[in-house]
Chains A and B, each alone.
Chain A
Amino acid sequence: MSWIIAAPLLLPLAAGALALLAPRLGLMPRWISLGASVLHLMFSVILAEQVLREGVVATHMGGWLAPVGIVLVADIFSILMLVAVSGVGLAVSLYALADIDRRKESVGWFALYQILMAGATGAFLTGDLFNLYVWFEVMLIASFGLIVIGGRRAQIDAGVKYVALNVVATLSFLTAIGLIHGVAGTLTLAELPERLVGADPTTVTAVSLLLFGALAAKAALFPVFFWLPAVYHTPATSVTAIFAAIMTKAGIYAIIRVFTLVFPDGAAWEVLYPIAIATMVAGVIGAAAQTEVHRILSFHIVSQIGYIALGLAIATPLALMGAIVYLIHNIVVKANLILIAGIARRRMGTDALGATSGLYATAPILSALFVIAAMAMAGIPPFSGFWGKLALTQASLSAADWAAIAAILGVGLFTLFSMTKIWIKGWLPRTDEGTPRQLPVQASRALMAPVVALTVVTLGIGLAPETLLQIADRASAQLLDPSAYQAAVLGDQLSYQTAILGHPL
């Protein structure tokens, strides 16, 4: 049993529990959270290093081998997600030191934050469909708390909508799992493809579409994305940033995982393509109508999930590689942009466009960081968003898919328009009203450090993309040919059954 794969999962769970007890032990939850985030990133990198060196790592929890027991699996796609999310997780827990006040801390903000990280880690590492549902629930319940802590009227209102829509999606997910178990008799992802071979195709189609619908709502794909822009602008900036990096990304991760492995062809693939393009377009058009920075950025999360879904829908190795590169880039840049917008809102007291102008004159460094992140998000070379888009465009070109190319470039242009709108109305001096507040030095350091760190990562991906492109290429190959994944999970299955039962099942 390899503990190295369980460590990134157990650590935030333990830290969450400790952070809940911390006030009684005389400890500060914020420092527990920061320490846990440092270790989480470290463990994730160690695991990533092992997976890149040795191939897929799998561990059977409790010594029960798959398909009987629950298996944790780390392939290259999982560890890319894990490292990106734990890196952003560390940045946000540093930011939260200044962003989250004592009152929010005392009602368990940092405990919920760590549990959210545990849920995401579990979702990336599990090799079992029901276990995936459980980790989504862990994330969901932690996110409920994070949205409403603070108790502003808008937060409560957003909480009601978030709970209602997400619970419906979750229950569809659970129903689909029950039906899949009924059809296949197993829930181990690696074993499902062969068990579904002889199944009634009508049932498989129905079940796969139900599952796709549920995960699409989690990933905020068109037309089930409305919960996201209604909610993401209401809680503290730290919450919006970590949600942007984790929640929808875990949804699209699950779609990529399940539909490349379990349902490699079928009806869901046919609807995915138009849905992806509709998501891209709906997101930017929604953003164009907004006049507050946090709201604009929330709509762009939707649009960018569309890019990733489009890469999956085209489904060539190059397109999938592009989707993965774009996904990793987006986790970093989106969180960074939201953190920057949070500093701007903190300094101006509002984030309504037009009321925040003049930041460029008083905060030149922050302005430069904003421009880098905004250009990266719009996909302007040489910043990080460019490479994912380039791979996606090349993949659509070789498939002579003009609609996809038009969508990629057109939506990119609209994104640039949104970023320019924020820059001109939000940062350049236009009116005299509103003078930026100077933040206390210590708070300003805790807020700026993570932004600088994430910007360095963005620049790193943009200027030296070879490493990420190569790793994403391997990840894409592994997804399209899951034999290594299946062998790692089920490799010793026959010998196990023979040992216990005296014969294979």
Chain B
Amino acid sequence: MEWKFALLAGVLTSVGIYMLLGRHMLSLVFGLSLLGSAANLVVFAGGRVRDGAAPLIPIGFSAPPEAIANPLPQALVLTAIVIGFGIAAFALALSVAAYHRLGTADPETMTDAEGQTP
């Protein structure tokens, strides 16, 4: 099962890096989001993917009586998704600000912070 996740994470990483190198702010933002999804898949698969049993402990037991899905990676990924969403929102807002203030959506032509002001 894990190999499917590994393959998908690999594809997402490649596409993400390709888009990250694109010459448009939107391409950059989507690239970052795809890389984020790839990282989330790695975290998820790292906790072992298992079909079936929900991570619940029946009343009267202090430990699960049989094998259950690992709930920890799900909690980790949920946190990471929320953070990734916040970053994507900020990056999109920044793209709009860059387009309005700098008059371009091409990161290559944004050089205001580089040149030395006399």
Contacts and interface: CB of A to CB of B under 8 A. Distances in A.
Interface string A330-357: 0000000000000000000010100000
A171 interface: yes
Interface string B20-36: 10000100100010011
B43 A178 contact: yes
Contact of B90 (A141, A155, A168): A141
A163 interface: yes
A500 interface: yes
Interface residues of B, number: 43
Given A156-B98, A167-B32, A175-B42, A141 B113 contact: no
A182 B47 contact: yes
Interface string B59-94: 000110000000011001001100100110011001
A134 B77 CA distance: 12
Contact of B94 (A134, A160, A175, A178): A160
Contact of A160 (B38, B80, B107): B107
B32 A164 contact: yes
A234 interface: yes
B63 A501 contact: yes
B50 to A, nearest CB: 13
A360 interface: no
Contacts of B11: none
A316 interface: no
Interface string A427-452: 00000000000000000000000000
A142 to B, nearest CB: 11
B112 A177 contact: no
Contacts of A134: 79, 83
Interface residues of A, number: 45
A73 B35 CA distance: 32
A130 B76 contact: yes
Contacts of B45: 178, 182
A160 B31 CA distance: 14
B118 interface: yes
A153 interface: yes
B112 to A, nearest CB: 4
Interface in A132-148: 134, 137, 140-141, 144-145, 148
B39 interface: yes
A175 B76 CA distance: 12
Contacts of B72: 181
B47 to A, nearest CB: 6
A401 interface: no
A163 B91 contact: yes
B102 interface: yes
A134 B84 CA distance: 11
B62 A502 contact: yes
Given A171-B36, A181-B46, A182-B46, A157 B80 contact: no
Nearest to B41: A178
A52 interface: no
Contact of B101 (A156, A161, A180): A156
A502 B61 CA distance: 11
Nearest to A134: B79
B112 A178 contact: no
B116 A160 contact: no
A156 B112 contact: yes
B68 to A, nearest CB: 15
Contact of B46 (A151, A154, A179, A500): A179
Interface string A105-117: 0000000000000
Contact of A171 (B39, B101, B110): B39
Contacts of B118: 352
A148 B94 contact: yes
A156 B97 contact: yes
B73 A181 contact: yes
Contact of A178 (B32, B44, B107, B114): B44
Given A164-B32, A167-B32, A174-B80, A292 B116 contact: yes
A157 B116 contact: no
A292 B113 CA distance: 13
Interface in A154-200: 154-161, 163-164, 167-168, 171-172, 174-175, 177-182
17 contacts: A134-B79, A141-B83, A141-B86, A151-B97, A154-B112, A156-B101, A160-B95, A161-B107, A163-B94, A167-B35, A168-B35, A175-B39, A175-B43, A177-B76, A178-B45, A233-B113, A234-B113
Given A161-B113, A177-B43, A181-B72, 13 more contacts: A137-B87, A148-B97, A154-B112, A156-B98, A157-B98, A160-B25, A160-B94, A171-B36, A171-B38, A182-B45, A182-B47, A230-B114, A501-B62
Interface of B: 20, 25, 28, 32, 35-36, 38-40, 42-48, 62-63, 72-73, 76, 79-80, 83, 86-87, 90-91, 94-95, 97-98, 101-102, 107, 110-114, 116-118
Interface of A: 130, 134, 137, 140-141, 144-145, 148, 151, 153-161, 163-164, 167-168, 171-172, 174-175, 177-182, 230-231, 233-234, 290-292, 295, 350, 352, 500-502
